[in-house]
Structure 1
Amino acid sequence: MLRRLPGDEVRGLVSTTPDTAVVFRPAVVHTPAIVTVLISLGRLVAGLIRTVLAHPIATVVVAVPGVTWTRYGWLATVIVVTVPGSVLAGWAVADRPLFDRWVGLRLLAFWRLIWIYRRHWHPVMTISGLARHVHDRDYLPRLVRVTCTSWADLITVRMLTGQSVKDWADRIEHLAHGFGATSCRVTVARAGLLTLTFPRRDPLAVPLPAVPIPDEVSVGPVEIGRCEDGTPWRLKVHGTHVLIAGATGAGKGSVIWSTVRGLLPAVRAGLVQIWALDPKLMELSFGRALFGGRYAADPERCAELLEAAVKTMQERAGRFSGVRRDHVPTVEDPFILVVVDEVAFLTAYQADKGLKLRITAALATLTTQGRAVGVGVLAALQDPRKDVLSIRNLFPDKIALRLDESEQVDMVLGGGARDRGALADRISPRPDLGAGVAYVRLETSPDPVRVRAAYVSDTDIRDMAATFTTDALDREEAR
């Protein structure tokens, strides 16, 4: 039996078979034209208010000449435009960073909002699959704000209800090409809001010279290069473990030597000891004098050095137990940084199974127990697969230099890192463009950061070895 529903009419229904599905069409209520006009005007006014609040300088620049032309004529408009324009031009020449901060970047943001993002927002959202069409209505994510920095556009977006960050992370290439950028990165601003980063230029395209040796004594974070936003890249080594992965020629040596360079004043003060394992006999041997007796290249000697670090760690743990939970570097208990240039030579490619087990066990012990007592591990490798380094997840902080395959990015930085914009497999293989460029994912943040390590030349290493040696420390230990 048919049941009458509110707003439905059953008369006129034709069914040739008893089991044919009956479709009811709800009654359509026509909205008065005045209501539609008022809603449209309200949206227009709200949009104008949002534009004025978000871009006050750009609004003044556009509005003042128009009002002046209307009320006082073209001559007054020329004067109004020329005088402030000359002042702003002089300001830009005299102090360009301050001008960009208060005027230039705001005008650029307004221009790119109107000409790039607002103009292409609907087609890009629709074609990329981020918009939804329901009941003859288009639902678009809302473009909240555009902010420009010296190198990128930061787009704040409000997601549609029910969307997830992964929906956007899976479409970073669609977004980048849709808005004419080389890449796109997705970060969470707060619940429901995302920040899309579209670079306009590459601030890391030029190689960086070696960072000057610091004057102050510190165990870190150590400045070893530059971040994409222009701030110094400071690598934390005390209280963590760091894994560096990259193909041949990607710049692993730049990260290692820049770290050693930043720790040299603390090494000379006796607050830091660097224990170096160099199974390839190529990278760390240049500065062997910096490590003194704590340098090993032979696999047997590497195993002994690692086991000595484990013994020191366990001895400290026994003394610190019940007394303190955090390590403070002192001359009696310095911070020990174990540097392994190519850890795969010792774990995966080691023919002696006995040595392989000893080395793997020692590294696993150090990475699980060493942080609290002042023993850190800085390890580098080329192949990040699990069967090459089974303990890679024990490194809280990870650095991905140029990698050969896209799957390796998530192997190094963790699941979803590439979807969020860590395109380590697309770093240029040219040494002048890509050596030292990397993506960093820290324990405290899921978002990868693009950086570039400074290049430490052979001459810099020899100068370091000639100036900062561990002879004095060795003599103190011999006493």
Structure 2
Amino acid sequence: MLGRKSAGATQVQPTAPVPAQTIRFSTPVVETPGIVVVAGFLWRLVRLLVMLPLRFPVAVATAGASALLAYLVGWLGLAVAWTLADVALLVWWRRWPESFKARLARRALAAWRWLWIYRRHWQPVLVVSGLAESYLERQYLPQIRGVTCSAWADRVRVKLVAGTAPAEFEQRVAELAHGFGAPSCRVEVRGARDLVLEFPRRDMLAEQIDALPVPDSPHGIDLAALPVGRCEDGQPWRLRLHGTHVLTVGVTGAGKGSVLWSAVRAMTPAIRAGTAEVWAIDPKRMELSFGRDLFARYADAAEDAVDLLEAAVAAMQERAERYAGRKRVHVPSVRDPFVVVVLDEVAFLTAYHPDRDIRRRAENAIATLTSQGRSVGFCVLAALQDPRKEVLNLRNLFPDKIALRLDEASQVDMVLGEGARDRGADAHLISPDLPGVAFVKLEGSPVPVRVRAAFVTDGDIDYMAGERAAAGVMG
């Protein structure tokens, strides 16, 4: 029957959801004795009073002397003393401004920025960026050992927590820069658990640099330290050509021409004296052709360019044969001048030219020059737009590299080497309004340096070429 359930049937009773049982363990609360709290406060106060004269000796001495004067001669005498001190400082500032800035102004600025910027925000910035360490429920922070200020940047010296590595800071330079309100951050490792964070306060490279003056005499021209622009700290940027090879990479409009022409301009006295020569290759027929009178040899067509490269290899090998067993160091002279092969748009010869034989010959010649040339006075100064390995697989044969504005973040490490972007070389973030700004990585140094090449105008090039032609006629 429908209304009767079978004897063997089991009736299932609906069940309501039962909340999970919550087990709470009460944590014992131990009240800190008041004497311990007071002792801790007194200890911090005593430590502050002891460290204050060591941390701010000038400020403490000034406050102490002011209090003593007020006690001995009264407030009127203190006002007179302060007036005389202000006059003396004004005279110092007007008469010896650099000494005033180095000995007083920048030290006062460093003390203020240590207190208001870095000490104040140190813990939250490091905790949020993941640079604070925890052990046994205690938090450990790297310690600020000191702050110094230069004309353009703050340098914060840091003592690391034991067991941490500088790489952790190098991987968080963007977080540190934004956390302390700086445009960028660079990390310099000085020793075990000792590093320096460099925070620029202003951009020393924001304004265009005009072509640098060239001395009339070749004496004093150092081909291993040619002035071509300015570094971010305001010091001259000196490009090494003698004894190395240089690869310059940047997108169209990044300023590769500024680097090439600034190097040629700095060599002009040696070119006029015959102790240096420039062999130029310009596939675009635009960048270097304007000053071809400066060059000992010039080529623009692909076949002519490869012939020039192979001629440079032959001259290099002939010189090496003469030097074998007799010389170990090349000294530029009229007989054996220093030869710089300036190669613009190198990818046209190594990757883009349709003739496979042209590509093979060009690559072989460049590889021979860059692997054997620098010891006998041959240098390759090459410019490139695309740094991918399939475009130029000879990047590692260029010891010194210059990264101008790039398209992608991954290209920074392609040009400057692995880890360069972590050390602050943000070449992909360079503004298009700053042509000539670049990051330079030199042989043997892992730290990239931000620089800007001087801008050599068409008029400057025309004047240089005219002087070279006049010198040739007189010779």
TM over 0.5: yes
Match in the other structure for 1:189: 190
- Of 267, 284, 288 in structure 2, the residue corresponding to residue 284 of structure 1 is 288
CA contact (8 A) 1:156 1:194 kept: yes
Deviations, residues 174-207 of structure 1 (Å, cap 9, x unaligned): 1111111111111112221111011111111110
Counterparts in 2 of 1:439 and 1:201: CA distance versus 1, 3 Å: same
1:295 aligns with 298
In the alignment, the residues of structure 1 paired with residue 72 and residue 176 of structure 2 have an alpha-carbon distance, to the nearest angstrom, of 44
Task: Write the distance in 1 (CA, Å) between the matches of 2:432 and 2:49.
Answer: 47
CA distance in 2, matches of 1:51, 1:344: 61
Aligned residues: 447
| Structure 1 counterpart of 2:7 | none
For residue 155 of structure 2, what is the amino acid of its counterpart? L
Q: Is 1:398 aligned to 2:401, yes or no?
A: yes
Indicate the residue corresponding to 2:339 in structure 1.
336
The alignment's C-alpha RMSD in Å is 2.6
Aligned to 2:83: 82
Q: Which residue of structure 2 lines up, in the alignment, with residue 154 of structure 1?
A: 155
Q: State whether residues 289 and 470 of structure 1, in contact with CA within 8 Å, keep that contact through their aligned partners in structure 2.
A: no
Deviation at residue 166 of structure 1 after TM alignment: 1.2
How far, CA to CA, are the matches of 1:44 and 1:214 in structure 2?
61
SS for the counterpart of 1:234 is strand
Partners of 2:250 and 2:406 within 8 A in 1: yes
Cα drift, residue 346 of structure 1 = 1.0
Cα 1:211/1:76, change in 2 over 3 Å: same
Q: Is the 8 A contact 1:223 1:234 kept in 2?
A: yes
Residue identity opposite 1:408 in structure 2: Q
User: In structure 2, what is the equivalent of residue 7 of structure 1?
Assistant: none
Letter in 2 for 1:134: Y
Alpha-carbon distance in structure 2 between the residues aligned to 1:245 and 1:44: 56
* Equivalent AA in structure 1 for residue 445 of structure 2: S
Local SS of the residue matching 1:213: coil
Q: Which residue is equivalent to 1:137?
A: 138
1:349 partner letter: Y
| SS of residue matched to 1:209 | coil
The one-letter code matched in structure 2 to 1:203 is M
Aligned to 1:19: none
- Match in the other structure for 1:176: 177
**Match of residue 354 from structure 1:** 357
For 1:208, the equivalent position in structure 2 comes to 209
Q: Which amino acid aligns with 2:107?
A: R
- Does residue 1:225 correspond to 2:225, yes or no? no
Give the counterpart letter for 1:441 in structure 2: K
- The answer to whether the 8 Å contact 1:384/1:412 transfers is yes
Q: 1:49 to 1:337 in 2, by over 3 A?
A: farther
Larger Rg: 1 or 2? 2
- Seen in structure 2, the aligned counterparts of structure 1 residues 348 and 37 have a Cα distance that, compared at 3 Å, is farther
Aligned to 2:460: 460
Partners of 1:55 and 1:106 within 8 A in 2: no
Is the CA contact (8 Å cut-off) linking 1:273 and 1:334 kept in structure 2?
Answer: yes
Displacement of 1:376 in angstroms is 0.5
Q: Which residue pairs with 1:14 in the alignment?
A: none
8 A contact 2:272–2:471 mirrored in 1: no
Q: Name the CA distance, whole Å, in 2 between partners of 1:406 and 1:257.
A: 27
Note the 1:37-52 alignment, pairs <5 A: 51-52=52-53
Aligned-partner Cα distance in 2 for 1:93–1:471: 46
- How many Å apart are 1:107 and its aligned residue? 0.4
Aligned to 2:314, the other structure's residue is in SS state: helix
- In the alignment, what sits opposite 1:235? 239
**Residue type at the aligned position of 1:150:** A
Shift of 1:220: 3.5
**Matching residue of 2:328:** 325
2: CA distance, partners of 1:62 / 1:188: 37
Q: Which runs of 5+ in 2 are unaligned?
A: 1-26
**Where does residue 436 of structure 1 map in the other structure?**
436
- Which SS does the other structure have where 1:438 is aligned? strand
Deviation of 1:65 (Å): 3.6
Classify 1:444/1:51 alpha carbon distance in 2 versus 1 (closer, same or farther; 3 Å).
farther
* SS at structure 1 position matched to 2:203: coil
Shift of 1:233: 0.7
Q: Which amino acid in the other structure matches residue 401 of structure 1?
A: L
Q: Are the aligned partners of 2:217 and 2:269 in contact in 1 as well (CA < 8 Å)?
A: yes
Structure 2 counterpart SS, 1:468: helix
Q: CA deviation at 1:35?
A: 7.7
Question: In 1, are the aligned partners of 2:224 and 2:243 still within 8 Å (CA)?
Answer: no
Check the 8 A contact 2:231/2:450 in 1, yes or no. yes
Q: Take 1:350 and 1:246, find their aligned partners in 2: how far apart are those partners?
A: 20
Task: Tell me, in whole angstroms, the C-alpha distance in 2 between the residues paired with 1:237 and 1:54.
Answer: 45
What letter corresponds to residue 352 of structure 2 in structure 1? Y
Aligned residue for 1:13? none
Q: Does 1:121 align with 2:122?
A: yes
Structure 1 segment 348-387 matched on structure 2, within 5 A: 348-387=351-390
Structure 2 vs 1, CA of residues 51 and 340 (structure 1 numbering), >3 Å: closer, same or farther?
Answer: farther
Cα gap change, 1:305/1:58 in structure 2, threshold over 3 Å: closer, same or farther? farther
Q: Distance in 1 between matches of 2:42 and 2:81?
A: 31
Cα offset, 1:366, TM superposition: 0.6
> Contact 2:351 / 2:392 at 8 angstroms: preserved in 1?
yes
Partners of 1:471 and 1:299 in 2: how far apart? 30
Identity of aligned residues (%): 54
Q: What SS does the aligned partner of 2:286 have?
A: coil
Normalising by structure 1, we get a TM-score of 0.87
> What SS class does the counterpart of residue 89 from structure 1 fall into?
helix
- Cα distance in structure 1, aligned partners of 2:42 and 2:71: 24
Deviation string 1:336-365 (CA, Å, 9 cap, x unpaired) is 100001111111111110000000010011
**Residue 374 to residue 411, structure 1, CA distance change in 2 (3 Å):** same
Aligned to 1:311: 314
Paired residue type of 1:107? A
Letter of the 1:444 counterpart: G
CA distance in 2, matches of 1:240, 1:214: 24
Deviation at 1:221, TM superposition (A): 1.2
Q: Which residue of 2 aligns with 1:274?
A: 278
> Is the CA contact 2:405–2:438 (under 8 Å) kept in the aligned structure 1?
yes
Indicate if the aligned counterparts of 1:57 and 1:106 stay in contact, CA closer than 8 A: no
Aligned AA (2:331): V
The one-letter code of the counterpart of 2:283 is P
Report if aligned partners of 1:250, 1:429 keep a CA contact under 8 Å in 2.
yes
Q: Is the 8 A contact 1:226 1:452 kept in 2?
A: yes
